[in-house]
Amino acid sequence: MAPTPPIVALKNAHITLGATILFEGVDVAIGRGDKIALVGRNGSGKSTLLKALAGVVDLDKGERYIQPGARIGYLHQEPDFSGHATVADFVSAGLVEDAPYRVQAVLDELNLPGVRAAATLSGGEARRAAIAQALVSDPDVLLMDEPTNHLDLPTIEYLEKALQAFRGGLLLISHDRAFLNNLARKTMWLDRGTMRETERPFAEFEAWRDEVFAAEDLAYAKLDRKIAVEMKWLREGISARRTRNMGRVRALHGLRKERADRNRQGQVKLAVSDAENSGRLVIEATHVAKSFQDAEGNARIIARDFSTRILRGDRVGLIGPNGAGKTTILKMLMGELAPDSGTIRLGTNLETVVFDQRRAQLDPNQTIRQVLLPFGGDSVVVGGTPRHVASYMRDFLFDAGMLEQPTRALSGGERNRLLLAKLFAQPSNLMVLDEPTNDLDMDTLDLLEEVLSDYPGTLLLVSHDRDFLDRLVTSTIAVEGDGVVAEYAGGYSDYLVQRPARTPTAGAAAKTADAPKAAEAPKAKRKLGYKEQRELDQLPALMDKLGDQVKKLEAKLADANLYARDPAAFQKTSSDLDKAHQDLATAEERWLELEALKEELESGA
């Protein structure tokens, strides 16, 4: 069967930015039904490639092809509202036929009033308006650059469903792994100026990437070992450290179980004075209620009868629709806002740092050295231990040669990483992050996740990134709106399983009552099957064995003279180490999967 001709394509595309070659010799083709993730490091040229496909920028060399009469939809990161008085006017500009009902339907789904003046929209509202315009335009190909930025979870989930039903070609740039996992069936990787492509979905991107790196490592083995290590660091950044070691997996699972047990047992047993005096108690909220009056004088209820107890080391996520009151809950938990009723009690000796998503803590005229060393010197004190600033910068993906570079010259992702470096150099035992994942590239997200996983203090985290929450938090506070606030053990996926069913509307309830009763579903099994239990029992020993193997191979590679003495042994050891890392990661993920399934079955979920 002949392949479907592309709707839009680039052939042998070259684009340079000043003296920098963004990419060269790139071929891209998008056909009907394609759902493609475009990935690559921050600054690799992904957004520019999207603009070239949309016809917004010209190629320096190469060709752009578009089928005659085809419509290309392009979601700009910064939409232009000039010439449009209202939101409805802006969205209607995307219609190819007179169908105002489509505009209203999409605006309702996105909770955006059409009569609102377009010039008054916030960043998140502007993004929703741009998405609405793209959806009503009924394009043959839709190009979307970070569509989930500044969106709340209900809007992200609506957009996912709309794009899953979209029958045209779709090319996505996003840092939201869950979003790409649920949509992308094909992956394009813009890597060091060239395009790599696989028919594998984005969910398999990391495994594919590791295969590519492993193949390259064989070629790099011909070079000096130091050059090979530096090249690997430059390519991978922190990706090789993304797979958590067994201790971290055990710790997260243990903390979530402890949190669940604590909720089931109640709070009284944990009210121990010694723990409070030692700083074990961080925040206690008891029967908290809060409401405001809106412009029309109506009461807007944020919380009614909400209680929680947060102890040292807890990592608590806050989720909910925009406007439901997450920031208000956060401010009450921090002691910055008093509840209408109930009590908020803070622990002793709290040292709090807050992640500022506007990056206002960075002076654009300061160099990286001045940001990290405001009082001079060469060392940054982290956790009571002095670190040379060059070594500390390396942890955040900066080259030592950038020390004297002014902040204003950094890219957005680099500024984000610098702010993280500044934040974690400050002494703290309570860290509050209000939507830290907005505008972060995947490298920075990986870095943030790793550092937060190792943070010994307590975290309060507001985020709409489902994958980030699942990988990090020990419990989730869901701010549902209309005063409904509840806490659930685990991350976002755990919340979906545990949350109570929504009360049906009167019409839906009536239909349910009139409908004949369906046969009762068979009860879920209460324990793992024999083979699953046996596999679970055997995995810890296997992981210990693989961990020991990794340590031995790493120790062997630590010999700086190995390559010069025996290049073949160096090559084999490098290959064996990559395989051991992959085998260990696979075993850890399977162990966590089986443990979660076992807990779910035993709890009767």
User: Based on the domain organization, do 173 and 297 belong to the same domain?
Assistant: no
User: Based on the domain organization, do 460 and 566 belong to the same domain?
Assistant: no
pTM of the model: 0.67
pLDDT at 85 over 60: yes
Cα gap 283→297, rounded to integer Å: 32
Cα gap 239→214, rounded to integer Å: 13
327 marked among binding-site residues: yes
Asked if residue 509 belongs to a domain, the reply is no
263 marked among binding-site residues: no
User: Based on the domain organization, do 297 and 356 belong to the same domain?
Assistant: yes
- pLDDT of 516: 40
Strand, helix or coil for residue 25: strand
User: Based on the domain organization, do 215 and 192 belong to the same domain?
Assistant: no
CA angle, residues 469, 381, 354, in degrees to nearest 5: 40
- pLDDT of 50: 94
User: Based on the domain organization, do 185 and 278 belong to the same domain?
Assistant: no
Note the pLDDT tens digit of each residue in 250-308.
666 666 665 565 544 333 222 222 233 336 889 999 999 999 876 666 788 999 999 99
Token pair, residue 459, equals 């975290």
Note the pLDDT tens digit of each residue in 480-508.
988 999 999 888 988 998 887 655 433 33
Q: Which residues are bridge partners to 386 per DSSP?
A: 381
User: Based on the domain organization, do 223 and 165 belong to the same domain?
Assistant: no
Q: Which of 24-33, 107-116, 318-327, 545-554 has the lowest mean pLDDT?
A: 545-554
The CA distances from residue 11 to 49, 63, 184, in Å, are 12, 5, 22
User: Based on the domain organization, do 197 and 224 belong to the same domain?
Assistant: no
Task: Tell me the average pLDDT across 382-398.
Answer: 83
- pLDDT of 220: 61
Cα gap 542→244, rounded to integer Å: 16
Asked if residue 12 belongs to a domain, the reply is yes
Asked if residue 505 belongs to a domain, the reply is no
User: Based on the domain organization, do 325 and 435 belong to the same domain?
Assistant: yes
The average confidence (pLDDT) of the chain is 80
298 marked among binding-site residues: no
47 marked among binding-site residues: yes
- pLDDT of 60: 94
44 marked among binding-site residues: yes
Quote the number of domains for the chain.
3
Assign residue 593 the CATH number of its domain. Answer: 1.10.287.380
User: Based on the domain organization, do 280 and 335 belong to the same domain?
Assistant: yes
Domain that holds residue 588: 210-236+526-602
- pLDDT of 102: 87
Q: Which helix (H) or strand (E) holds 197?
A: strand 194-198
Residue 599 pLDDT class (50, 70, 90 cuts):
low
CB neighbours of 390 closer than 8 A, spacing ≥ 6? Answer: 400, 403
- pLDDT of 258: 56
Q: Which of 136-150, 176-190, 262-276, 393-407 has the lowest mean pLDDT?
A: 262-276
- CB–CB of 539/587 below 8 Å? yes
- pLDDT of 160: 94
Helix residue ranges per DSSP H, 189-325: 205-220, 225-236, 246-265, 273-277
Cα gap 66→56, rounded to integer Å: 13
Residue 565 CB neighbour total at 10 angstroms: 9
323 marked among binding-site residues: yes
42 marked among binding-site residues: yes
307 marked among binding-site residues: no
Assign residue 163 the CATH number of its domain. Answer: 3.40.50.300
Residue 20 pLDDT class (50, 70, 90 cuts):
confident
User: Based on the domain organization, do 93 and 215 belong to the same domain?
Assistant: no
Cα gap 582→142, rounded to integer Å: 35
Spell 60-92 as b/e; 16+ CB within 10 A means b: eebebebbeeebbbbbbbebebeebebbbbbbb
